[in-house]
Structure 1
Amino acid sequence: MTDAISHEIPAHMIQRPWKVLAVGAGGTGSAVLPALARLHHAMIELGHPGGIECTVYDDDTVSPTNVGRQGFYPNDVGSFKAPLVVNRLNLLMGTNWRAVTQRLNGRTALFDVDVVIGCVDTRAARKAILDTVGETHAYYLDCGNDTDRGQVVLGQTMPKSRRKTSRERLPHVGDLFPDLIDPSKDADDDTPSCSMADALRKQSLVINSAIAVQAFNLLWTLFRTGSLKYSGVFVNLTTGRTNPIPIDPAVWARFGYEAPRPKEKKARKSRKSAAAH
């Protein structure tokens, strides 16, 4: 018997602008951020008070092998990725977003962040995100990919003291897939590709866009309907399939995550005890 539940959007995300922190403006990030700007515009048009306020963190610069594979052009080579993406969106979409040319770290000031979007390509970077925001109350949308497959997982961070009692919390990527936040499992060969052709032999040209679409759809659905029935998606370009991760403790348990169980009702026990006497 399934124990599927529906997740509801927090009230404050309907009443004020979404404060979003995006980590990574490279392959997936440069695909996710334009979609996020479109979501901002749609939210405003539909009457939301403020849309999205976004800050993008990335300390990397554009290399020749990024051109064509990511959202950059030949004239961008050598420039920082985050300001390039953010400045273009601000000019084209009327946003007022910020770019920070450094990595997210434990010294990053976090004030009422609603959504953290991780567009990183290593387990170490994913762990760094959780180390930084793990004790906050926020959504963590992980956008990860490999050669021709990947996953999008929307979970919630929360102080450790409350995780064991909050049955409504959506498990984040580290809860469901601990291997994805284990830096020791990062590939030994992190050598940059020498050419775009070499890079394309390692990774599908389409995978970043495919992951971005699924992330976009999760956020759009959460805003437009106010609820979600699934909190993640597996994408496999080789088979042409996408598989959702239902919001269901029974499904989570298959991945090794045990959701907190509801507390036993003491009143019922008291009644049984009284009846025995």
Structure 2
Amino acid sequence: MSEQKLHRAPAHLATGTWKVVVVGAGGTGSALLPSLARLHHAMVELGHPGGIECIVYDDDTVSEFNVGRQGFYPNDVGQYKATLLVNRLNLLMGTNWTAEPRRVDSTIRLHADIVIGCVDSRRARHAIVQAARRGKCGYYLDCGNEIDRGQVILGEFGKPRPDRLPHVGDLFPDLLNARHDKGDDTPSCSMADALRKQSLVINQAISVQAFNLLWTLFRTGSLSYSAVFVNLATGRTNPVPIDPAAWARFGYDAPVPKQRKVRRVAS
């Protein structure tokens, strides 16, 4: 039986504030942000020196058909999602987070320990990766879904190396290719129309898996898996272990560690 591999969190996450950027405050983003605030509170209560410092990007406003399906209420209609959620959490949880009611584009440089992408379009994922490359970022937590299934993938930015966690673009390059977007991004004309496009439960299911990954990373300082696939139609949740052999099944070949040359001493 092979030994279970673990990913160790960088030491600075245990001694300093987690700088987190969330891109997308819609279905999954509005479900995950309150959990992120709970994580911040728990971290501080458990003695972490800084908890979470968060910036939320989203240029969308609340429509009447977001109410009930996303984390919004009738009185929220017309307001910017990012601003609304951040102000609400700052008031209720005592955080001092920042809202940026704009989309991540070519003018943005992201600087964060963890970038969380709560987006479903390939164009948006590509923009996140490019903005992270222009700045300086550590982890990339992708939270994506379709009608009744989705994935949560924690990876790392930077050049490939044997111990780097592959991010969503490494495992699924197609998910960063904007040419393959379906093009059906028109607003729903009713609640029923919105629910035909997406399960009422999928965003919460994805956000719970993302929340658990972050909680485990903080509480134990390590992870035994880096991705989770959720299928509500079958009721299955499948983790992907920290293992180059597992990643290879998705077509990603992790670099092989270089062997040290042993110098022979002449007798």
SS at match of 2:154: strand
TM-score scaled to structure 1, two decimals?
0.92
Residue of structure 1 in register with 2:131 after alignment: 132
Residue of structure 2 in register with 1:253 after alignment: 248
Residue of structure 1 in register with 2:219 after alignment: 224
Cα 1:105–1:189 shift into 2, 3 Å: closer
Residue of structure 2 in register with 1:117 after alignment: 116
Question: Displacement, 1:134?
Answer: 3.2
Matches within 5 A, 1:46-61: 46-61=46-61
Question: Displacement, 1:5?
Answer: 2.1
Q: Deviations over 1:168-222 (max 9, x none)?
A: 1100000001111111111133222110111111110000000000000000000
TM-score scaled to structure 2, two decimals?
0.96
Whose Rg is larger? 1
SS at match of 1:78: coil
Question: Displacement, 1:36?
Answer: 0.2
Q: Which amino acid aligns with 2:62?
A: V
In 2, are the aligned partners of 1:69 and 1:205 still within 8 Å (CA)? yes
Aligned counterpart in structure 2 of residue 205 of structure 1, from 200, 208, 222: 200
Residue of structure 1 in register with 2:16 after alignment: 16
Q: Structure 1 vs Structure 2: percent identity of aligned residues? A: 69
**Counterparts of 2:234 and 2:152 in 1: how far apart (Å)?**
17
Question: Displacement, 1:108?
Answer: 2.2
**Counterparts of 1:137 and 1:70 in 2: how far apart (Å)?**
28
**Counterparts of 1:127 and 1:188 in 2: how far apart (Å)?**
16
Cα 1:54–1:65 shift into 2, 3 Å: same
Cα 1:253–1:117 shift into 2, 3 Å: same
In 1, are the aligned partners of 2:115 and 2:137 still within 8 Å (CA)? no
**Counterparts of 1:107 and 1:10 in 2: how far apart (Å)?**
29
Of stretches 214-223 and 127-136 in structure 1, the one that deviates more from structure 2 is 127-136
Q: How well do the aligned residues superpose, as a CA RMSD in angstroms?
A: 1.6
In 2, are the aligned partners of 1:3 and 1:250 still within 8 Å (CA)? no
Residue of structure 2 in register with 1:79 after alignment: 79
**Counterparts of 1:43 and 1:150 in 2: how far apart (Å)?**
28
Q: Deviations over 1:43-75 (max 9, x none)?
A: 000000010000000000011111110011111
Cα 1:260–1:144 shift into 2, 3 Å: same
Residue of structure 1 in register with 2:150 after alignment: 150
Structure in which a larger fraction of residues adopt helix: 1
Unmatched segments (≥5 aa) in structure 1: none
In 2, are the aligned partners of 1:2 and 1:250 still within 8 Å (CA)? no
**Counterparts of 2:98 and 2:87 in 1: how far apart (Å)?**
8
SS at match of 1:86: helix
**Counterparts of 2:139 and 2:231 in 1: how far apart (Å)?**
24
- Structure 1 stretches of 4+ with a deviation exceeding 6 A read none
Q: Which amino acid aligns with 2:27?
A: G
SS at match of 1:171: coil
In the alignment, structure 1 residue 31 sits paired with structure 2 residue 26? no
Question: Displacement, 1:145?
Answer: 0.3
Residue of structure 2 in register with 1:237 after alignment: 232
